Structure 1
Amino acid sequence: MTVESLLRSLGDEIEDAEEESFLLFSQPIPSQNLGFVDSSATSIDLTIAGRDLTIHQSPTILSSTRGGGTTGAVLWKITPLIAAWLASPSNPFTTHSIFTPSSTLLELGSGISGLIALALSPSIGSYTLTDQSYVLKLLRQNITSNLPSTRTSKSTTTNNSSGKSKSKSKFKRGATQAAAATEGGDGGEGEGDSNIQLRTLDWETDEVAGLLPGGGSFDAVIACDCIYNDALIDPLVQACADACRLRERAKQSNSSNGDDTANSAEGAAGGIGNVEGKTVCIIAQQQRSDEVFEAWLTAFKEPFRVWRVPDELAGEGLKGGEGFMVHVGVLK
């Protein structure tokens, strides 16, 4: 199984952003409001992949006038759906060996929950979470308190795609601080005994390469519900492209050192072309504005070739007409 086999399983490549937007937004979409799970709760209990989790969030930050955004302060509805789907052994990224016990994953704009990292960390090599610095205190709390070795059982849970709120909270994400270690260490080791690392990253001012100062790259880059206004589109697309280019640079470095595995020829004859070894970029989002979506896809298609995850491969709550969508990109 390969990147090529993954892309073939997704069906036709998206050629026209306007047509894709029309196809998605011309069908009835259920109202999700803004998309919060519960913007007034300070904690939310839920179950993902058979694990009971409590996610702490901050309604106070969400409702503040903080510059640079506050949306990362609370849990959004799409995140538990994506976490449950990606943790399933039948998801296409696992069945096509993008997610393996040695895989390295990066999440951009993670917000406070760390939910996708918590769901995937038992089955991959390492997971790096990034967001603005204001997110990191609660993000660290949610990671450390929900690690299997430190967690206690929760008395109230829900199914794997929804949460039950306690108290008050909400907030979302943006992007911000330097690609350096977060408070509590230089980030060379994971939180607690885990393989999860936290980093600050401002899409507009920081270099993604700074996340891996010693070199290296990622097998997959994930961004979940980071696109909700025009101002964020270009910085996010640039961050995605820069993160994926780390793999290209690593391959060039290995080749110049005589370690050229040359596995790229495999896909050339089949129409998809040279995609082997490329980083896979996974973009999940709620359907809100067709104009913002089309603007994002137009920008994303500049550096990336793009596919949409079809209904037969999508997880519960992520199929057409349910208000959410997942796209996959690889660099051209």
Structure 2
Amino acid sequence: MAVPVLLGLLGDHVVSAEEETFDLFAQDLPSRDLGFVDPKAPVLELTVAGRDLTIHQSPGLLSSDRAGGTTGAVVWAITPLFAAWLASPSNPLFTSRVLSPSAAVLELGCGISALVGLVVGPRVAQYVLTDQPYVARLVGQNMAANRQRPRQHHPSRRPTLRFAPLDWEADEVTPALAGPDDDDAAAAVARGSFDAAAVARGSFDAVVACDCVYNDALVEPLVAACRDVCSLRRRRRRDDGRRAASAAAGPCVCVVAQQLRDPEVFELWLACFMRSFRVWRVPDALLPEGLRAGSGFVSPALLPGYFLHFFVLAGAVPWEKH
């Protein structure tokens, strides 16, 4: 199984949210603004993971008083860095085979850019972008503006990237995010709307979130959404033990990247996650020479001031000693 390999690379899991918060915020963190790339530009030209991308954003929406928030209207500085790291072949998710060309990934809080999905989507079987419905139009515009032509040796490869509305505070996470009900599955696969292997699993290999927590009100909904997505695989096994594809797959891995801002919000976030998940940090040994953070906690691929965690549902890793 791939997940034991990944966890073997990561080493010991985090045992105290308070101690991790102290260690992290004791670092000499760079002074930053809120963390936008350029909140006034309607269009950004970015190069991420070797791809030249045109990203449309909405400065007007960002400055509006829309109920429910507007932070997804522009690109945050951590997003291109996280996207490049996640898409890299040397990423431990790929080297451990947690992610592969047959994998399914769900992103929470993708914002308007679809940036992570644009560079990671071509490397997996299915990548589902989710966020509140207000971002859907620009997500679609950015997907269309950056659509890759099929490779010559894979002319029939179907699109792997799609958007589904999901509001953590209002919507329920259901297996429909991974694929349609059995009665509709064959038709959906034939249309190219879903990948056959992903539909067979009815769940995801990884759920990712990038810079999604800004205040304590968002902590519980984000943790609940991550827990529910990761539980889809366990639920699928319980409801239908005959599904070999689901049974053979390991537990869903959660990956969260975040800019360091408020230590109280960070500690609340980590403590809340640790009630349901085992948590791992990225050790220096996995990271390029010259970019390593001294503590091994901050991912140098994301630069000091950003952090990255891996999570697996508690109890979903039978080889772990509790």
Which range, TM-score by smaller chain? Answer: 0.7 to 0.9
How many angstroms apart in 2 are the aligned matches of 1:258 and 1:203? 28
Q: 2:257 aligns with which of 273, 284, 293?
A: 284
Task: Please give the secondary structure, in 1, of the residue aligned with 2:284.
Answer: coil
Following TM superposition, by how much is the alpha carbon of 1:145 offset from its aligned partner in structure 2, in angstroms? 0.7
Report how many aligned residue pairs link the two structures. Answer: 278
Task: Please give the secondary structure, in 2, of the residue aligned with 1:112.
Answer: coil
Q: 1:243 aligns with which of 199, 221, 229?
A: 229
Following TM superposition, by how much is the alpha carbon of 1:86 offset from its aligned partner in structure 2, in angstroms? 1.1
Deviations 1:254-303 (A, max 9, x none): 42x3749976xxxxxxxxxxxx7100000100011111000000100111
> Does 2:8 align with 1:27?
no
| Structure 2 gap ranges (5+) | 151-156, 182-198, 292-297, 315-322
Residue of structure 1 in register with 2:318 after alignment: none
How many angstroms apart in 2 are the aligned matches of 1:258 and 1:15? 35
Following TM superposition, by how much is the alpha carbon of 1:106 offset from its aligned partner in structure 2, in angstroms? 0.1
Q: 2:177 aligns with which of 191, 206, 211?
A: 211
Residue of structure 1 in register with 2:5 after alignment: 5
How many angstroms apart in 1 are the aligned matches of 2:206 and 2:76? 22
Higher mean C-alpha displacement, 92-101 vs 313-322 = 313-322
Following TM superposition, by how much is the alpha carbon of 1:144 offset from its aligned partner in structure 2, in angstroms? 1.2
> Does 2:311 align with 1:329?
yes
Residue of structure 2 in register with 1:305 after alignment: 278
Q: Which amino acid aligns with 2:239?
A: S
How many angstroms apart in 2 are the aligned matches of 1:64 and 1:258? 47
TM-score of the pair, normalised by structure 2: 0.82
Q: Is the 2:237–2:247 Cα contact (8 Å) retained in structure 1?
A: no
Q: Which amino acid aligns with 1:331?
A: L
Deviations 1:53-94 (A, max 9, x none): 011100000000000000000000111001111111000000
Q: Is the 1:17–1:298 Cα contact (8 Å) retained in structure 2?
A: yes
Q: Is the 1:87–1:119 Cα contact (8 Å) retained in structure 2?
A: yes
Following TM superposition, by how much is the alpha carbon of 1:36 offset from its aligned partner in structure 2, in angstroms? 0.3
Following TM superposition, by how much is the alpha carbon of 1:121 offset from its aligned partner in structure 2, in angstroms? 1.5
Deviations 1:219-255 (A, max 9, x none): 0000000011000000000000000000101222342
Residue of structure 1 in register with 2:149 after alignment: 149
> Does 2:166 align with 1:201?
yes
Q: Which amino acid aligns with 1:217?
A: S
Residue of structure 1 in register with 2:189 after alignment: none
Runs (4+) of structure 1 moved beyond 3 Å? Answer: 258-263, 314-318
| Structure 1 gap ranges (5+) | 151-191, 264-275
Q: Is the 1:199–1:211 Cα contact (8 Å) retained in structure 2?
A: yes
Q: Which amino acid aligns with 2:160?
A: N
Q: Is the 1:105–1:220 Cα contact (8 Å) retained in structure 2?
A: yes
1:34-45 alignment, distance < 5 Å: 34-45=34-45
Task: Please give the secondary structure, in 2, of the residue aligned with 1:72.
Answer: helix
Residue of structure 2 in register with 1:267 after alignment: none
Deviations 1:98-149 (A, max 9, x none): 1101000000000011111111122110000000111111111111110112
Which structure would you say has the larger RCO, counting Cα contacts within 8 Å and 6 or more residues apart?
Answer: 1
How many angstroms apart in 2 are the aligned matches of 1:55 and 1:238? 30
Following TM superposition, by how much is the alpha carbon of 1:312 offset from its aligned partner in structure 2, in angstroms? 3.4
CA, structure 1 residues 314+200, in 2 after alignment: closer, same or farther (shift >3 Å)?
A: farther
CA, structure 1 residues 102+261, in 2 after alignment: closer, same or farther (shift >3 Å)?
A: closer
Task: Please give the secondary structure, in 2, of the residue aligned with 1:312.
Answer: helix
Residue of structure 1 in register with 2:120 after alignment: 120
Higher mean C-alpha displacement, 316-325 vs 80-89 = 316-325
Structure number with the higher helix fraction is: 2
Q: Is the 2:233–2:246 Cα contact (8 Å) retained in structure 1?
A: no
1:314-325 alignment, distance < 5 Å: 314=287, 318-319=299-300, 322-325=304-307
> Does 2:76 align with 1:80?
no
How many angstroms apart in 1 are the aligned matches of 2:299 and 2:280? 15
Following TM superposition, by how much is the alpha carbon of 1:321 offset from its aligned partner in structure 2, in angstroms? 6.8
Q: Is the 1:208–1:243 Cα contact (8 Å) retained in structure 2?
A: yes
Task: Please give the secondary structure, in 1, of the residue aligned with 2:286.
Answer: coil
CA, structure 1 residues 195+254, in 2 after alignment: closer, same or farther (shift >3 Å)?
A: same
Task: Please give the secondary structure, in 1, of the residue aligned with 2:256.
Answer: strand
Q: CA RMSD in A?
A: 2.2
How many angstroms apart in 2 are the aligned matches of 1:10 and 1:76? 27
Following TM superposition, by how much is the alpha carbon of 1:47 offset from its aligned partner in structure 2, in angstroms? 0.8
Q: Which amino acid aligns with 2:27?
A: Q
